[in-house]
Amino acid sequence: MKTNATPSRRKLLQLAAAALSVGIIPMMGRASDDSDNDYETGDDDLSSNNTTLALANTGLKANIVVIGGGMAGVTAAKYLRLWGGVDINVTLVEPNAMYTSNIMSNLVLNGSRTINSLAYGYTSVAAKYGVVVKQAWVQSVDTAGKSVTLSNGSTLPYDRLIVAPGIEFMNAFGLTQSDYESKTPHAWRAGPQTELLRQQLAAIPLDGTFVMTIPKAPYRCPPGPYERACLVADFLKTHKGAASKVVVLDENASIQAEVHSFTEAFTHIHNGVIDYRPGVTNIQIDPDTKAVSFKDAQGLPVTILANVVNPIPPQRAAGSDGGWLAQTGLNNSVSNGVPDGRWCVVDVLSYESTAVKDVHVIGDAASCGLPKAGHVANQEAKICADAIIRTLGGQQPDSAPVANSACYSPITATTASWLTAVYQYDAVNKKMALAANGGVTTGATATEAGAIDTENFRDMNTWFNTLMSDSYA
Ligand SMILES: Cc1cc2nc3c(=O)[nH]c(=O)nc-3n(C[C@H](O)[C@H](O)[C@H](O)COP(=O)(O)OP(=O)(O)OC[C@H]3O[C@@H](n4cnc5c(N)ncnc54)[C@H](O)[C@@H]3O)c2cc1C
């Protein structure tokens, strides 16, 4: 993406706020560091139908089950109740008592945030909107009989199902899934691996070498790996010596997002520390010796001995590798004309699966032409909830949906850049496409920050708190 005419950062915040605006509750991020107790233990059903918010009596009735309480699923559950009213019964199934935000999790690595500060609970969506929250895994879905079976043995019938399980990680680099948990963390799902990577970074020797890998697109959060490279470089040169190295092995031919900002960061701000190598192939990693071998863009073999290795594996929809999702047939994506079973293709007017009727897929698991990002997941959830409500009321889904993508990227411990884009329905090609000047426009691009600075860093927290509040509060 190249830099476009740059709106002011105030304009970006206004754009982001406008995109999130419907139903924003003036209650900021419910992180676990907050003083109020967010979660009641000892009960797998966290809900109450005594909502603290008066919901409308719309006359619409349906049982809707949502799988996954991440950025996409929780937003859909909340807005289905808010817009659909009291007789739209919504059950959210999520195995974890608290959700850990991936967004901002790179700031745990340099000690700017704690992992606990990124935890969000389900009390608000249960108490305020009357979403029934079941703390369990989905084990199987009977799409013919329209029911979901949970890890606690119970079954949930549905009229409509929303699938939002995020991603799982594919085998790669000669590593096992347990290598990621104990030796070479990917930390691409925030949680214990983020904490392990932080500890490994803190223990790296003076002038040590950190090697990270970036999988071929599509992957979760296009700017995220480059943001991580910048924050690790900033940490190492500040605390571990100016001769420290961050080697970035990118399986893509070039930087995948915020090209202007990250080029500036790699070639000026972190010059001499970040060693960016695009177009690499055949990456192999020894989890014990931390030897990383690969072929460079010219096809020549190279081996680097690292102190810390952070391989980000290729990804696919969670449950699609022979698991519960694969058994539904929802994972019907095709790559280069060949079915690859990685993602769930949807109609972007409603997010209904193109493979299974009355099942909708949102967030990173979906293949819909939009970037795999939390802000986008929030937008997809609202378009999907709106389409379901309209359909239940005998209408058609909105024929011209618009989605906004906004994202801030910290570049150092105190500065950040940003990226924003507007996507609109392209009726000719039946997909979401970049828009400009009020319509789908050939050559429209995402817009990047004009500068990397501390004001962006401050605005980043406002954006993050607003987004998380819109989803979880
Ligand atoms: C380091 C990093 C930085 C990022 N930064 C940004 C950013 O700045 N801006 C941005 O917009 N995005 C960012 N992202 C991307 C963003 O986090 C994801 O795109 C977003 O979380 C996707 O939402 P989701 O709901 O699809 O998946 P998730 O948020 O992963 O939620 C999926 C949920 O489904 C649950 N689940 C899985 N399987 C089952 C099952 N069988 N039964 C029940 N529940 C299940 C999981 O427990 C999980 O809670 C970042 C990601 C990373 C890794």
Query: Is the CB of 323 inside a 6 Å radius of any atom of ligand 1?
Result: no
Query: Is the CB of 94 inside a 6 Å radius of any atom of ligand 1?
Result: yes
Per the model's pLDDT, the better-predicted residue between 435 and 472 turns out to be 472
Give the mean pLDDT of 446-457: 95
Å from CA of 66 to ligand 1 middle? 14
Atom nearest to 167 CA in ligand 1: 30
Predicted confidence at residue 388, as pLDDT, reads: 98
Q: Give the position of tokens 């740059």.
A: 6
Predicted confidence at residue 20, as pLDDT, reads: 55
Q: Does the model's pTM come out above 0.75?
A: yes
Predicted confidence at residue 52, as pLDDT, reads: 84
Predicted confidence at residue 49, as pLDDT, reads: 54
Q: Give the position of tokens 């801030």.
A: 408
**Alpha-helix runs per DSSP H in 85-136:** 106-109, 123-129
DSSP E strand stretches across 164-307: 167-169, 209-214, 245-250, 274-277, 281-285, 291-295, 301-305
Segments of the chain assigned to CATH 3.50.50.60: 23-169+316-398, 177-313
CA-nearest of 451, 449, 450 to 463 is 449
Instruction: Determine the angle formed by the axes of helices 9-20 and 454-472, rounding to 10 degrees.
Output: 0
Atom nearest to 73 CA in ligand 1: 25
Q: Collapsing DSSP states into helix, strand and coil, what is residue 17?
A: helix
Predicted confidence at residue 440, as pLDDT, reads: 75
What is the torsional sign of CA 127, 131, 132, 136? negative
Measured CA to CA, the distance from residue 331 to residue 318 in angstroms comes to: 10
Going by pLDDT thresholds of 50, 70 and 90, the confidence category of residue 2 is very low
Q: Can you name the residues that pair with 422 across neighbouring β-strands?
A: 404
pLDDT surpassing 80 at residue 443: no
Å from CA of 444 to ligand 1 middle? 27
Å from CA of 73 to ligand 1 middle? 10
Predicted confidence at residue 36, as pLDDT, reads: 31
Predicted confidence at residue 8, as pLDDT, reads: 47
Per the model's pLDDT, the better-predicted residue between 32 and 139 turns out to be 139
Contact between residue 432 and residue 412 where contact means Cβ atoms under 8 Å apart? no
pLDDT surpassing 80 at residue 38: no
Query: Which range has the worst mean pLDDT, 11-15, 199-203, 422-426?
Result: 11-15
**Encoded tokens for 257:** 């997002």
Predicted confidence at residue 50, as pLDDT, reads: 62
The CATH number given to 23-169+316-398 is 3.50.50.60
Q: Collapsing DSSP states into helix, strand and coil, what is residue 183?
A: coil
Predicted confidence at residue 269, as pLDDT, reads: 98
Query: Is the CB of 245 inside a 6 Å radius of any atom of ligand 1?
Result: no
100-to-105, 179, 193, 421, 468 alpha-carbon distances in Å: 9, 21, 12, 25, 11
CA-nearest of 314, 350, 348, 345 to 328 is 345
How far is the first Cα of the chain from the last one, in angstroms, to the nearest whole number? 33
- What percent of the chain shows pLDDT beyond 70? 89
Measured CA to CA, the distance from residue 206 to residue 240 in angstroms comes to: 5
Q: Which residues contact 34 (CB under 8 A, 6 or more apart)?
A: none
Contact between residue 366 and residue 359 where contact means Cβ atoms under 8 Å apart? no
Give the mean pLDDT of 26-43: 32
pLDDT tens digits for 260-285?
A: 999 999 999 999 999 999 999 999 99
Given phi > 0 = left and psi -120 to 50 = alpha, else beta, which region is 11?
Answer: alpha
**Encoded tokens for 324:** 């519960």
Query: Which range has the worst mean pLDDT, 27-36, 47-56, 435-444?
Result: 27-36
pLDDT surpassing 90 at residue 347: yes
pLDDT surpassing 70 at residue 151: yes
- What percent of the chain shows pLDDT beyond 90? 86
Contact between residue 292 and residue 284 where contact means Cβ atoms under 8 Å apart? yes
Query: Is the CB of 424 inside a 6 Å radius of any atom of ligand 1?
Result: no
Measured CA to CA, the distance from residue 316 to residue 364 in angstroms comes to: 9
Query: Which range has the worst mean pLDDT, 31-35, 127-131, 177-181?
Result: 31-35
**Encoded tokens for 93:** 């199934």
Candidates 2.170.270.10, 3.40.50.620, 3.50.50.60, 3.30.497.10; correct CATH number of 177-313? 3.50.50.60
Q: Which residues contact 370 (CB under 8 A, 6 or more apart)?
A: 348, 376, 379, 380, 403, 405, 423, 432
Query: Which range has the worst mean pLDDT, 21-30, 322-331, 433-442?
Result: 21-30
Q: CB neighbours (10 Å) of residue 256?
A: 23
pLDDT surpassing 80 at residue 39: no
Q: Which residue minimizes the CA distance to atom 5 of ligand 1? A: 103
Å from CA of 48 to ligand 1 middle? 26
Q: CB neighbours (10 Å) of residue 208?
A: 18
Going by pLDDT thresholds of 50, 70 and 90, the confidence category of residue 32 is very low
Instruction: Determine the angle formed by the axes of helices 192-202 and 224-239, rounding to 10 degrees.
Output: 30
The mean of the pLDDT values for the chain is 90
**Which of 103, 310, 368 has most ligand 1 atoms within 8 Å of its beta carbon, as the pocket-test mutant?**
103
Query: Which range has the worst mean pLDDT, 25-29, 31-35, 244-248?
Result: 25-29
Predicted confidence at residue 442, as pLDDT, reads: 76
Q: Which residue minimizes the CA distance to atom 38 of ligand 1? A: 165
ω before 218 within 30° of 0 (cis)?
A: yes
Q: Which residue minimizes the CA distance to atom 51 of ligand 1? A: 102
Measured CA to CA, the distance from residue 154 to residue 65 in angstroms comes to: 13
pLDDT surpassing 70 at residue 23: no
pLDDT surpassing 70 at residue 377: yes
Give the mean pLDDT of 176-181: 96
